[in-house]
Amino acid sequence: MKNPSSDCTEILVGKAASMDGSTIVARNEDGYGPINPIKFVAHAAKDQEDAFYISKTTGVKVPLPNHAYRYTATPQADQSDGQYEEAGINELNVGMSSTETTATNARVLGYDPLVHDGVDEEAMLTLVLPYVKTAKEGVLRLGELLEEYGTGESNSIAFNDKNEVWLLETAGGHHWAAMRLPDDAYAIVPNQTVMEEVDVSDPENYLIATDLIDFVEKHHLNPNPDHFNFREIFGTQSEADAYYNTPRTWYGQKLFNPEIEQEPTSQKMPMVRKPSKKIAIEDVEYFLSSHYNGTKYDPFGTFASGTANEQRQFRSIAMDRNQASSILQIRNDVDDNHAAIQWLALGFFAYSPYVPFYTNITDTPEDYKNTTNEVSVDNMYWLEKTLSVMIEPHYHEYSDMVHAYLDACQSYARQRIEVTDEVIDGFNNDVSQFLTSSNMKTAAEVTKRTHQLFNDLVKKGLMLSKTTWEKGQNL
């Protein structure tokens, strides 16, 4: 079973709420502890008659469809307890992010306990993403697996294609519901069940487990029978939620709806809001790499002074357990053969750039797929993790250098997308091979800049020692 400290933060953006008409599913993967090496890979399409998936974690054995589509993924480097592929986009431009750890309340678990031989986080993307043609199909396939095999965890899982964004939340061992995010809205998802009203009569926008209504009625689980509020029926609203989860929703909604007054510990904040202005990729990056910047709750005390207790009061979004952050962007203003981009950051996201990888590819850069279990600055995961060890003790001394590096990498990323898109328009050769080569060039430049930052930080750090002593300084 998943370690309970494996938690994440997620944001979903509908196509009419994004600046360029993209759908966006984005999530930080925060691991079991500060160390959980991650790599970025591309799986080839394949035919596989009579194939099965067997989980290293739960032992569940699931038959697989005869054909698997190509897809990208961000698995663990150490797969002794499973792959945990986490986030990727398949060749049909369907994105999947799995999972956001949530919780089912004790009352529900009394009637539908978690199971220990079912489909858990480590298997979900591997069992679903290679086999679906749309985001909605992803929901339906995962829902069927949950009902048949059960799960040992409470999770939310997000899907997107060029038109739709869907969020599925599990409840107990075998139950679930899913909703289609309104096109003109965004949603913040911390480690808490967040889905509210579910209209079971509207299958275009809501999907549920086959026996969900009967299950709720049989066990008298709905405290407000005039509504079907998934959060109230299945979720938790604890004191722990108010300090671990809701502040992240508060901060995200503060960024995208600054006109709304809310308390960080409020349990009444809605899941879905319409942003006060369109949301760009940079806005998503800022949220996912934030630490209550500009408030008294910032553990770095960046812009506003807070007491030591206030700076440690809430669980930060950028934190030591950050491992990999993927922004799955499906664009609508370009051809399908290059519409999907997986923006990937590794390490501690407050210091790590997001690198755009087209996902219609055959391979990934060597220093993104060769992640080792031991520290090595020859792969990007450990290089970024090493930078965080250097930066955090001297954050304010290094801040200008780090932010100049991040801004330059983001501008370069935008330039690379622009150039690549322009070349592909009217391109008659192998698009996948061209995009693979383009990704390699983009990543190589970011790697080069990251090593340069490493060099500059070491040299500056050597000048910051508390043991510095100039001969004759006290004469």
Active site residue 8: yes
User: Tens of pLDDT along 30-76?
Assistant: 987 899 999 999 999 999 999 999 999 999 999 999 999 999 999 99
Whether the CB-CB separation of 129 and 141 falls below 8 Å is answered with: no
234 Cβ neighbours under 8 A, 6+ residues apart:
104, 105, 108, 169, 171, 172, 175, 193, 221
Whole-number Å distance between alpha carbons of 452 and 432: 30
Is it the case that residue 4 has pLDDT exceeding 70?
no
Ranking 3-17, 256-270, 274-288 by mean pLDDT, the lowest is 3-17
Which residue in 7, 8, 43, 405 is the catalytic one?
Answer: 8
Give the mean model confidence (pLDDT) for residues 292-314: 88
Is it the case that residue 2 has pLDDT exceeding 70?
no
Is it the case that residue 305 has pLDDT exceeding 80?
no
Average pLDDT, the chain: 95
The predicted model scores a pTM of 0.96
User: Tens of pLDDT along 361-408?
Assistant: 999 999 999 999 999 999 999 999 999 999 999 999 999 999 999 999
Domain assignments of the chain as residue spans, ordered by start: 7-364, 390-463
Residue 418 three-state SS: helix
How many other CB atoms are found less than 10 A from the CB of residue 411?
A: 10
Enter the DSSP assignment of 425: T
Whole-number Å distance between alpha carbons of 42 and 134: 19
Q: Provide the pLDDT confidence category of residue 3 given band limits of 50, 70 and 90.
A: very low
Strands 23-30 and 52-54, bridge-based pairing: unpaired
Is it the case that residue 1 has pLDDT exceeding 50?
no
How many other CB atoms are found less than 10 A from the CB of residue 388?
A: 18
- The CATH superfamily holding the domain 7-364 is Penicillin V Acylase; Chain A (3.60.60.10)
User: Tens of pLDDT along 167-198?
Assistant: 999 999 999 999 999 999 999 999 999 999 99
- To which H or E segment does residue 11 belong? strand 8-13
53 Cβ neighbours under 8 A, 6+ residues apart:
60, 61, 62, 64, 123, 126, 127
103 Cβ neighbours under 8 A, 6+ residues apart:
154, 191, 192, 193, 235, 236
